[in-house]
Amino acid sequence: MAYHESFYRFLMTLRDHNSTDEVVQFANNAEFDSSFPRQEQDYEKLSEYLELNATYLVSMTIFDRAYQMYQEKMM
């Protein structure tokens, strides 16, 4: 079985506090979310968490873009 890093771990590789990119800003903000499901890989579970808890995420399409990037890296 292949190892797949968590979405959070992938997201942390995108951080850049000088960038204005929406996905990068999502990563920057998620870093400070102490409740973020850090071991999760499942889209539905992550999506549900973000919809209910992530006031820093202005649009779920940003998460969708980030998750697509994550899936492409995991292939």
- Tens-place pLDDT, residues 51-73: 999 999 999 999 999 999 999 99
* pTM confidence score: 0.92
32 DSSP assignment: T
CB atoms within 10 A of CB 35: 8
Within-domain flag for 11: yes
What's the structural domain count of the chain? Answer: 1
Tokens of 72: 């492409």
Within-domain flag for 37: yes
Euclidean distance between CA atoms 17 and 42, whole angstroms: 27
Share of the chain above pLDDT 70, in %: 96
- 60 and 50 in contact (C-beta within 8 Å)? yes
Q: Is 60 exceeded by the pLDDT of residue 3?
A: no
Euclidean distance between CA atoms 46 and 63, whole angstroms: 9
Within-domain flag for 2: no
Q: Is 70 exceeded by the pLDDT of residue 2?
A: no
Within-domain flag for 1: no
